[in-house]
Amino acid sequence: MRGAVDLLQFVLQKIRNKKWLILSLLVGNLLMVAICAAGPMYTKAALQRTLTRTMSDYVQQEGRYPSSVSIDASSKGGVELLESDEQLVGTLAEKLGVEPLEVVAHRYIDKIDFFPELSRGSGETAKTARIGFLRNLADNIEVVSGSLYGEEPNDEGVVDAVISESCMIELGVMQGEILKTKGLEAPDGSELRVRISGIFRPKEGDSPFWYRTPASYGSTLFISEEAFASGISQESREKKIQANWCWIFDYRKITVDNCRAFVRDSAELSELFEGEKNHSYRDYFTRLIESYQVQAAQVKGTLWILQVPIYVLLAAFIFMVSRQMLDLEAAEIAVMKSRGASQKQILGIYCLQSGLLSGASLILGVPLSFLVCKIIGSANAFLEFVSRSSLELEITGEVVLYALAAAVASMAAMVLPVLRYSRTTIVAVKQGKAKKRSAPLWQKIFLDVILIAVGFYGFFSFQGQKEHIAERVQSGTGLDPLVYLSSSLFIIGWGLLALRVIPLIAKLVYKLGRRWWPPSLYASYLWVLRSKGGGFIVTFLIITIALGIFNASTARTVNSNEISRVAYQDGGADLVLMEQWGSNSLQVESDDTGSTSLLYFEPDFEKYKSIPGVTSLTRVLYDTKVSVSLDSASGRGSTVTLMGIHTKEFGETASLKKGLLPEHFYDYLNAIAQKSDGVLVSSLFRDKYDYNLGDTLIYRSENGDSARGVIYGFVDYWPTYLKEKTARNTDGTPRKEENLLIVANLSYLQAQWGVRPYQVWLSMEDGDTSPVYDFVEEQKLVLTEFRDQTADLVTVKNDPGIQGTNGILTVGFVVALALCTVGFLIYWILTIKNRSLQFGIFRAMGMSMKEIVVMLLNEQFYVSGLAIAMGVGVGLLTSRLFVPLIQLAYVKSEMPLPLEVLQAGSDVLRLLVVVLLVMAACMVILGTIIRKLKIAQALKLGED
């Protein structure tokens, strides 16, 4: 026990003595734990959000709870079966482990003919309706007229019923009216009579009880459950009863963890009903969960892969710092040994020390991971944040496991090197200093060259399979992790190679100027050449900077391509909308002579001009059902997409990214403006069907009206135009189909074909589309099409894959910066401290402060300067090679534009500014240390 306390005191003393080093180790460990824990935490929260959003979207679109299970049964098998079904429903909650919000039990007898008891005149026909009950109906309605039903039939055997407002209209009955049934008997054998006691409407329309609207129950006379049992004869009931149980629970209860169990349990339940004729079972969530799972797998894969380099970086950092510390402590360890400490005791000391560090990191790191998740979750683009609905973050077993693994791994990185040192004695340390260091193993086996070669191999082989990769991504397999791995290996390879190259450069320069070097530079060259220069810091700097740049350009590229895609697909207009057009189609149909032609009633176009904030607008006829005869000889035809435009307005409203077309966008518009029947066509007409400029095309509308066009230009890109359409094969795999385009003058088309429904494209001041929403609401416009570029962009940015990518790459970049700073400071401060004896000698020999600073600057140039330069170079090269491959992971099935790799110059600059600031700070600190260095003291310090 005493021994343990002593040990602890010893270690605490040691920590106090090396507080800066320990502090940086702590920073590394802390980041490692926090980021490792944030990975699963964020992924889970993001996926949960996606899952919940999938569910809530379904509620909005379908008006139905996806988190529901329903069983339909009919009583052909006897009433007993219904009773057992009821029990089964009872076990559902148990099975799925979630309390239902509502279990809606409904039984009814269908197709009952009713007659009013008091005939209202001749020609009275039977009305067909249902009679049944909804359990707990009374609690969920508001009776708007009359009163609720009584529980039992009254003295005359009349059963009370309530009906919905829509049922009242449908059946044409009144409150208080008594209806006679036909074919449905009361227990005494007489025909059942029903009185409409009241009209109801739902108490709360959005309560789960009304998962089906009252109207969807059709003409149902709702009576009480008791009356349903006692008021109708047994025989009548057995024949025809149908039952439906809908079991609804809160969709937020479906979580990332239990969704699999939901699907499985539901499948098991449905098996029970298999082969049953009179029963059917269905759930509404399996399909949604399954489609979510495909997306989740993709997102998970991408996010995980993106995190790997950060882990590598952190591990390298911890390893570097602990090595540095051990180098400093080698003699200390040896002394401990010579004083009789066993290897076990020494290991014990280091285990305790790193255990304390890892423990502290664990305690502080897990809370810190919440912050990291928040940062990731609020990333809107690279290094850009917005406030979003907060993620539901929680510490799960997985999170703790990751954090623990990180802590253990970093402990290992700190303790393992001690093994080597703890075996050596003081004699060996001194001898070790004497031994000429031979090249490390990795250099002998040319690991650096191998890694770079592997990177290149990965690049070339993936480059060759680009199409294949893109297909795999679109079918949901996700990007091959090897793509990312080869880029990381490529960077590491260069980082290691630098350890060979930089001394070579130094040697070359040294040799060239050998005769002229002043004493300071001479000494510094010998140091760079003989002390292995910076060693690991060089590799570390290169890897960090290169990864930072690579991260930045990956994020920038992914974002910018997504933004360009959305802008292109929305035609560059802020809004595209189409109103519902009236037509005389009914008349045309009923006219057997065929003499009536189809006419559309054009809604007022001018009204859009009055919307505040509209900067320009235009009409665009967009028709995908136009056909063209491509070869007059064979008469072969093909469908084309036709766009009818007003050239001037179109040019003002739509836009096209520069560089997509060889000439300016406007030049093409001007070309067809010259002649009313001038057209622009997609390049396929030229490349595949041998059309030339000036050729004439004949194309026809769906109803056979023809038009002609003289070709004034060929285009590969046009606002909204996709060169290829993706069609699905029968097995669901995507298939590309060529897509032809004709752009014609709208006025010409209208003259030829009459006015046909067109889209309205709008461009808004500052892209603010809200006035249009207000306008549509105010004018009660019925729109058949509506695309908002801003909203589309928001959707893209909220995509969990894109969002997580931005977040993780941002965090990676920031971590790289932080590690760069800390690593750099530690390295230089330690080096100076280690070399204080040497500086003492130089100073004693009469070297001035200025000369020492020159010496250090020269060393900085070779160690840090060249490493930074190489890091930037390697980062740019790696981005150029691998970003196009990584980008494939984000390509939607329809990426109409050529991919562009963005070299984010501003990010490189940002990185460099930070690094240079750190370097400058370092030099100031070093300068202070050296200035304060007492020569006599330094010489004393050097004594062993």
| Residues lying near another protein in the complex (CB under 8 A) | 433-436, 519, 522-523, 526-527, 529-531, 837-838, 840-849, 934-936, 939, 942-944
Nearer to another protein, 727 or 845 (CB): 845
Whether residue 807 contacts residue 517, with contact meaning beta carbons closer than 8 Å, is answered with no
Whether residue 479 contacts residue 889, with contact meaning beta carbons closer than 8 Å, is answered with yes
Residue 522 CB, nearest approach to another protein (Å): 6
Nearer to another protein, 436 or 658 (CB): 436
Residue 16 CB, nearest approach to another protein (Å): 16
Please state the three-class secondary structure of 127-191 as a single string: EEEEEEEECCHHHHEEEEEECCCCCCCCCCCEEEEEEEHHHHHHHCCCCCCEEEEEEEECCCCCE
Nearer to another protein, 531 or 893 (CB): 531
Residue 333 CB, nearest approach to another protein (Å): 19
Instruction: Give kind and range of the element (H or E) at residue 86.
Output: helix 79-96
Residue 536 CB, nearest approach to another protein (Å): 18
Q: Can you tell me the distance from the alpha carbon of 492 to that of 14, in angstroms, rounded to the nearest whole number?
A: 34
Kindly give, in sequence order, each residue whose CB lies less than 8 Å from that of residue 19, ignoring residues fewer than 6 positions away. Answer: none
Please report, for residues 8, 349, 671, the alpha-carbon distance to residue 3 in angstroms, rounded to integers and kept in the order given.
9, 12, 92
Nearer to another protein, 557 or 831 (CB): 831
Nearer to another protein, 441 or 845 (CB): 845
Say whether 74 sits in a helix, a strand or coil: strand
Helices 343-378 and 286-338: angle between axes, nearest 10 degrees = 150
Residue 864 CB, nearest approach to another protein (Å): 19
Residue 507 CB, nearest approach to another protein (Å): 14
Residue 514 CB, nearest approach to another protein (Å): 12
How distant is the alpha carbon of residue 366 from its chain centre? 24
Whether residue 252 contacts residue 99, with contact meaning beta carbons closer than 8 Å, is answered with no
Nearer to another protein, 205 or 432 (CB): 432
Q: Can you tell me the distance from the alpha carbon of 706 to that of 626, in angstroms, rounded to the nearest whole number?
A: 10
Nearer to another protein, 301 or 942 (CB): 942
Residue 47 CB, nearest approach to another protein (Å): 56
Nearer to another protein, 475 or 928 (CB): 928
Residue 870 CB, nearest approach to another protein (Å): 23
**Residues 92, 93, 96, 98: what is their CA dihedral angle, to the nearest 10 degrees?**
160
One-character DSSP codes across 435-458:
SPPPPPHHHHTTHHHHHHHHHHHH
How distant is the alpha carbon of residue 277 from its chain centre? 44
**Degrees to nearest 5, angle at CA 423 with 419 and 428:** 130
Nearer to another protein, 277 or 436 (CB): 436
Q: b or e along 652-690 (b: 16 or more beta carbons within 10 Å of the residue's beta carbon)?
A: bbbbbbeebbeeebeebbbbbbeeebbbbbbbbbeeebe
Nearer to another protein, 506 or 642 (CB): 506
> How many Cβ atoms sit within 10 Å of the Cβ of residue 188?
8
Residue 850 burial class via C-beta count within 10 angstroms: exposed 0-12, middle 13-18, buried 19 and up: exposed
Q: Can you tell me the distance from the alpha carbon of 790 to that of 795, in angstroms, rounded to the nearest whole number?
A: 9
Nearest to 304 by CA among 42, 19, 603: 42
Residue 944 CB, nearest approach to another protein (Å): 7
Nearer to another protein, 5 or 845 (CB): 845
Kindly give, in sequence order, each residue whose CB lies less than 8 Å from that of residue 720, ignoring residues fewer than 6 positions away. Answer: 568, 569, 570, 571, 622, 643
Residue 296 CB, nearest approach to another protein (Å): 57
Kindly give, in sequence order, each residue whose CB lies less than 8 Å from that of residue 431, ignoring residues fewer than 6 positions away. Answer: none
Helices 849-860 and 905-932: angle between axes, nearest 10 degrees = 150
- Pull the structure tokens for residue 714: 């060929």
Nearer to another protein, 19 or 433 (CB): 433
Residue 22 CB, nearest approach to another protein (Å): 23
Q: Can you tell me the distance from the alpha carbon of 479 to that of 312, in angstroms, rounded to the nearest whole number?
A: 20
Nearer to another protein, 648 or 835 (CB): 835
Residue 930 CB, nearest approach to another protein (Å): 13
Kindly give, in sequence order, each residue whose CB lies less than 8 Å from that of residue 169, ignoring residues fewer than 6 positions away. Answer: none
| Residues in a beta bridge with 242 | 74, 108
Nearer to another protein, 282 or 940 (CB): 940
Nearer to another protein, 427 or 909 (CB): 427
Nearer to another protein, 363 or 509 (CB): 509
Residue 932 CB, nearest approach to another protein (Å): 13
Q: Which letter does DSSP use for residue 771 in this model?
A: H
Whether residue 231 contacts residue 191, with contact meaning beta carbons closer than 8 Å, is answered with no
Helices 866-887 and 905-932: angle between axes, nearest 10 degrees = 150
Residue 370 CB, nearest approach to another protein (Å): 44
Nearest to 74 by CA among 314, 273, 266, 312: 273
Nearer to another protein, 105 or 855 (CB): 855
Nearer to another protein, 215 or 936 (CB): 936
Q: Can you tell me the distance from the alpha carbon of 282 to that of 246, in angstroms, rounded to the nearest whole number?
A: 10
> How many Cβ atoms sit within 10 Å of the Cβ of residue 371?
11
Residue 837 CB, nearest approach to another protein (Å): 7
Residue 430 CB, nearest approach to another protein (Å): 8
Task: Count helices and strands (H / E) in the chain.
Answer: 30, 25
Residue 889 CB, nearest approach to another protein (Å): 49
Helices 343-378 and 19-62: angle between axes, nearest 10 degrees = 40
